[in-house]
Amino acid sequence: MITSIKINGFKAFHQFEMEFAPFTIIAGLNASGKSNLFDALMLLSSVATSDNLKKSFKEQRGEFLELFTQYGENSYADTMSFCVEMLVGKTVKDAWGNTATLKYTRLRYELTIRRITNQSGIEDLIITSEHLENLKHDEDTWIRKMLPKNYMTDWRPKVDTGKRGLPYLFTEKQAEIDTVVAPQDGTTGRKRRFPLTNSTRTVLSSFDTVDFPHILAAKEEMKSWKFLQMNPDELRQPTSKSTGDDVILPNGRNLAAALYRIKQTDSYLLKEITRTLQRFLPNFVGVDVIDDKENKQYLIKLKDKHQREYTSRVLSEGTLRILALCIMQFDDKHTGLLCFEEPENGVHPSRIKDMLALLKDLTVNFEDIHSPLRQVIINTHSSTLVSNLTDTHKDTVLWLAQMKNQIITLYNPDKERVEVLTTVMLPVDKTMQLTISEQDKKWTLHAVQEYLHKENNLQ
């Protein structure tokens, strides 16, 4: 799970940083930067796994030049940089089934990307630096704030001897060429070197085996970041057996196959999914999935109080979205980060509180050492959703997103000063476990609710 991020030079982010909890809520008006943060996470997830840097940028909205911070007309930042801190599992598995135990589960990954004009006169992208290291225990403030003291060593193993001082990835000059060095775990392991002269991918993305377990763990963590964009057409469709996939995709595809796998593993979980669904839709008393052998597919069916059955083909979008979340809660293949835009859509205001509880249940429980490392980040412009938050929502933090004019000094010969519209996130004081520095402005739940309600009415 991601615990903090720093961004500079990407879209409207300048010297931006924020912390995350297992359940993080970002409230703000439209065009306040909420979706841009998801875009940054999506880009990082892609470049950590893709073999083509430019392809990852093309997956984003707009031309890749527009992804760099704009300082003025036809003036953009030359570089963008990211720094993410994460908590990973204690073991990692590669694609061949080999496993390794990690010495450190708290990692920090840094990446800098520069735009250039290549020899053909075409705008291009290059990696200029990468860095991956373990977080030292004495500087790891997040884990002391967020984890119960009695369970801390279960998630961050204690290291008494052989503490690592060398990063897992670092960039240095070798023969005047920026080169990423990857020392193998241990004291006598070999080093791999990656000159960045013609790099078309991140070094992190090139590691696939447990020979370098901490690098692989960072890559797998970022690979697990999902961005829910559920498509009702995909949710309604049965899953063809020919797909060979039973994992729910971000658009909702394979929902029926995932439910069938859960049913085969433990049929009692269908009752648990039904109970969870009833919190939102009391009329439904049964959730099932059938093996349609004739058509070689799996099909979801819901039953109401009058014993009438409805296939997924006729269910409403709101019902399908909620059903998908209920299934994910009991799906042991669902791990990692889940980003979800405006989860209140299609949900009756009286059920928003239940929706928040469902999303919270989709996150890790640090007091259960067998709990999967799950995390949820949502964004919203709903004052109703914010009003349903209480101080009892543990392991949850709330941020208010706003756009703000900021004077920036450019690193050019004239040291030009420009005014740039940037995204800021203000931590909301709701008696959460994460402390807030004195210089930060603290918002109360009531203030955020009133702000969203007033501004939404003006739009």
DSSP state of 412: S
pLDDT bracket for residue 412 (50, 70, 90):
low
Starting at the edge strand found earlier in the chain, the sheet holding 79-87 runs 16-19, 2-8, 79-87, 106-117, 123-134
DSSP state of 274: H
Q: What is the pLDDT of residue 63?
A: 82
Interval 112-134 mean pLDDT: 90
Report the Cα 313 to chain-centroid distance in Å: 30
Q: What is the pLDDT of residue 199?
A: 83
Listed in sequence order, the residues at least 6 apart from 389 whose beta carbon sits closer than 8 Å to its beta carbon are: 25, 356, 396, 398, 430, 445
pLDDT at residue 38 tops 70: yes
Q: CA 15, CA 54: separation in Å to the nearest integer?
A: 24
Tokens of 346: 């299609």
Q: What is the pLDDT of residue 436?
A: 45
Q: What is the pLDDT of residue 458?
A: 65
Q: What is the pLDDT of residue 161?
A: 64
pLDDT at residue 134 tops 90: yes
CA-based nearest residue to 91, from 360, 362, 395, 370 = 370
Interval 73-94 mean pLDDT: 93
What would the pLDDT profile of 228-278 be if each residue is shown by its tens digit?
999 999 999 999 999 889 999 999 999 999 999 999 999 999 999 999 999
Q: CA 191, CA 391: separation in Å to the nearest integer?
A: 49
Q: Is 175 left (phi over 0), alpha (psi -120 to 50) or beta?
A: left
Mean pLDDT of the chain, nearest integer: 89
In the chain, pLDDT over 70 holds for what percent of residues? 93
Is the Cα torsion angle 413, 414, 420, 423 positive or negative in sign? positive
Burial 206-241 (b: 16+ CB within 10 A, else e): ebeebbbbbbbbbbbbbebbbbbebebebbbbbbbb
Q: Read off φ and ψ for residue 149, nearest 5 degrees.
A: -55, -40
Q: What is the pTM of this model?
A: 0.91
Q: What is the pLDDT of residue 231?
A: 93
What would the pLDDT profile of 369-403 be if each residue is shown by its tens digit?
999 999 999 999 998 898 888 655 567 889 999 88
Q: What is the pLDDT of residue 305?
A: 94
Specify the residue for token string 């950590």: 48
Q: What is the pLDDT of residue 459?
A: 58
Element (H, E) at 223: helix 213-223
DSSP state of 262: H
Q: Read off φ and ψ for residue 127, nearest 5 degrees.
A: -85, 130
pLDDT at residue 437 tops 60: no
Q: What is the pLDDT of residue 439?
A: 46
> Domain map of the chain by residue range?
1-224+339-459, 230-334
Element (H, E) at 383: helix 383-387
Q: Which of 36-50, 61-75, 151-165 has the highest mean pLDDT?
A: 36-50
SS (H, E, C) 87-123: ECCCEEECCCCCEEECCCCEEEEEEEEEEEECCCCCE
Q: What is the pLDDT of residue 323?
A: 95
Lowest average pLDDT, out of 252-261, 280-289, 408-417, goes to 408-417
What would the pLDDT profile of 303-330 be if each residue is shown by its tens digit?
999 999 999 999 998 899 999 999 999 9
Rounded to whole angstroms, what are the CA distances from 89 to 103, 111, 154, 163, 330?
10, 22, 10, 19, 19
Q: CA 252, CA 269: separation in Å to the nearest integer?
A: 20
pLDDT bracket for residue 362 (50, 70, 90):
very high
Task: Supply the Cα-derived Rg of the chain in whole angstroms.
Answer: 23
Provide the CATH topology of domain 1-224+339-459: Rossmann fold (3.40.50)
pLDDT bracket for residue 46 (50, 70, 90):
very high
Q: What is the pLDDT of residue 435?
A: 45
Rounded to whole angstroms, what are the CA distances from 367 to 91, 149, 150, 151, 386?
19, 10, 9, 6, 26
What would the pLDDT profile of 205-234 be if each residue is shown by its tens digit?
999 999 999 999 999 999 999 999 999 999
